[in-house]
A = this chain, B = another copy of it.
Amino acid sequence: MRERSFWGWGYADRYPDAAGRDNVAQLVEATLGFAPTARLDAPSLDAVALRAPRFEAPAALADVVDQGAEARIRHTYGRAYRDVVRGFHRDFAVAPDAVATPRDEADVRRILDFAADARVAVVPYGGGSSVVGGVECAGEGHAGVLSLDLGALNGVLEVSHIDRLARIQAGALGPALEAGLKAHGLTLRHFPQSFEHSTLGGWIATRAGGHFATLYTHIDDLVASVRMLTPAGLYATRTLPGSGAGPSPDRLALGSEGALGVITEAVVRVRPRPTFRAQASLHFARFEDAVEAAREIAQAGLYPSNCRLLDAREAALNAVTADGSSVLIVAFESADHPLAPWLERAVELGRGRGGVVQGSLTYREGEAARGEGSAEAWRSAFIDAPYLQSILVGLGIMADTFETACPWSRFGELHAALVHDVRDAMKRVAGRGTLTCRFTHVYPDGPAPYYTFLCPTRPGSELSQWAEIKAAASEALLKHGATITHHHAVGRTHRPWYQRQVPEAFQAALRAAKVALDPAGILNPGVLV
């Protein structure tokens, strides 16, 4: 089995050798205009020092619990910038005291019972790809921390073609889940950037967003029912296409971030793999015009699979164009019908705002639409992007992202504030920096803008530099009516702003719900409530 990095994104063998890192360094300097501040080799797992476990797991759990150093190190962090920095520097001070790997729900139940009795904090762990401190738990006030790795619960259990439903275990990683569905000619079509290293259960717990721009792309809309083990009992909803019976039980599990229960499986809405694709790329001299075009397409009832706006810097960084244009990529896909009327109307709207089509409108059909071609290439590049962040840490460069959503009318002001405040913060802490923007999703009532910031760091000061930039961004989001997160979740990182965003009365209700489901307060303490 291919080994995953214990400190950085994804597979260990993707961290380049010294020559490869030199290439990246040169590319960075040419693109961003500032030089790497370091040239560090990757850390070694053997060199990590861990404290002794704060509790000893009982013999009765020996079959599912591992208290060895490697398991504990590998379950300490998600893959936020600050996780990678700490991992790189072998700081695993908050490592859990034990890692459990249940093989079935009975194992999960045994572990929860032990933890409730022993007051051990339990952190449900899927792919470990959280970028918001979702799986990092110090365990204050608890006898210790147990990371509950759902990785062995990873089967595609049932598939119904007629219902377009599949029952899948929560620990299934993206590729395994899609492979299981592909055997049936189906796809969940949920591709978050973490796809390779995140799980169905993690997607549900964090309300993950897929990479499609409209309609059924959020995991929220793809869940037909959920099974969640709570300390207070089984929380299993009925598989339904729709129900108006009280507040939705599924929607309370969605976004619960491991604080209400351990999601063990879900029935999800799947679909045939597309056999028609249509795509066009429009360039705009002015970013504002591209935004208006994206808005009009989002409001036209066409429902493109992609409506991805890249600002000029984002387009340049992604080698799409370096001529200062903003780029709008519009695409449609279907397993049912050719898409020319859809794409032509979207392009017409884009042209109406001054967009110029690059090349021609492209259409693909049949097998050609299924897996090859530019859509897959783009998705693959998209899914590979997080590797770069880890490489840059070794070069002393901070690269991180934040994302949000807001009504269209607030975007201009929000964007200007973010550009000002985040650049200002980067200048303060790093002397300089780059901020880019794209839209990941568009709704009739607003866009979901996604920002990437890059700046040089001072060795040893990375975390404080990062915290100042992150706070500047988060404050601007809150101030301008946006959300602290559109699809990255709350975790521990966003919690201060989350508490200001969400009504206190709702937080009181959520706290009460948590006490009902988790009376001993053992589940992922520190997130949400």
Residues of A near any B CB (own CB < 8 A)? 160, 162-165, 206-209, 218, 224, 228, 230, 232-249, 251-257, 260-261, 269, 271, 295, 299-303, 334-337, 341, 345, 405-409, 441, 443-448, 481-490, 494, 498, 501-506, 508-513, 515-517, 528
Is there an interface contact between B406 and A240, defined as CB atoms closer than 8 Å? yes
Q: Which of B164, B239, B501 contacts A245 (CB 8 A)?
A: B501
Q: Is the interface of A mostly helix, strand, loop or mixed?
A: loop
Is there an interface contact between A445 and B247, defined as CB atoms closer than 8 Å? no
Known contacts A165-B407, A512-B513; is A498 also within 8 Å of B242 by CB? Answer: no
A528 to B488, CA, bound (A): 32
Jot down 26 A-B pairs with beta carbons below 8 A, ordered by A: A160-B409, A162-B409, A206-B244, A218-B242, A218-B244, A233-B504, A234-B503, A237-B506, A240-B446, A240-B483, A241-B445, A244-B488, A244-B489, A245-B483, A245-B498, A247-B255, A249-B506, A252-B252, A252-B509, A271-B299, A300-B336, A300-B337, A301-B334, A337-B345, A341-B341, A505-B517
* In the complex, chain B residues whose CB is within 8 Å of the CB of A488: 244
Q: Which of B209, B247, B444, B483 contacts A256 (CB 8 A)?
A: B247
Nearest CB to that of A233 among chain B residues? B505
Is there an interface contact between A509 and B513, defined as CB atoms closer than 8 Å? yes
* In the complex, chain B residues whose CB is within 8 Å of the CB of A234: 503, 505
* In the complex, chain B residues whose CB is within 8 Å of the CB of A509: 252, 260, 512-513, 516-517
A184 CB, nearest partner CB in chain B, Å: 15
Is there an interface contact between A240 and B505, defined as CB atoms closer than 8 Å? no
A171 to B483, CA, bound (A): 28
Is there an interface contact between A505 and B246, defined as CB atoms closer than 8 Å? no
Is there an interface contact between B269 and A445, defined as CB atoms closer than 8 Å? yes
A256 CB, nearest partner CB in chain B, Å: 6
Chain A to chain B: the 6 pairs with minimum beta-carbon distance, closest first: A241-B446, A241-B443, A509-B513, A512-B516, A512-B512, A251-B251
Q: Which of B255, B341, B505 contacts A244 (CB 8 A)?
A: B255
A239 to B248, CA, bound (A): 20
A190 CB, nearest partner CB in chain B, Å: 13
A476 to B165, CA, bound (A): 23
* In the complex, chain B residues whose CB is within 8 Å of the CB of A164: 299, 444-445
Nearest CB to that of A448 among chain B residues? B242
* In the complex, chain B residues whose CB is within 8 Å of the CB of A515: 512
A257 to B244, CA, bound (A): 11
A476 to B214, CA, bound (A): 37
Is there an interface contact between B445 and A235, defined as CB atoms closer than 8 Å? no
A523 CB, nearest partner CB in chain B, Å: 13
Is there an interface contact between A252 and B345, defined as CB atoms closer than 8 Å? no
Nearest CB to that of A509 among chain B residues? B513
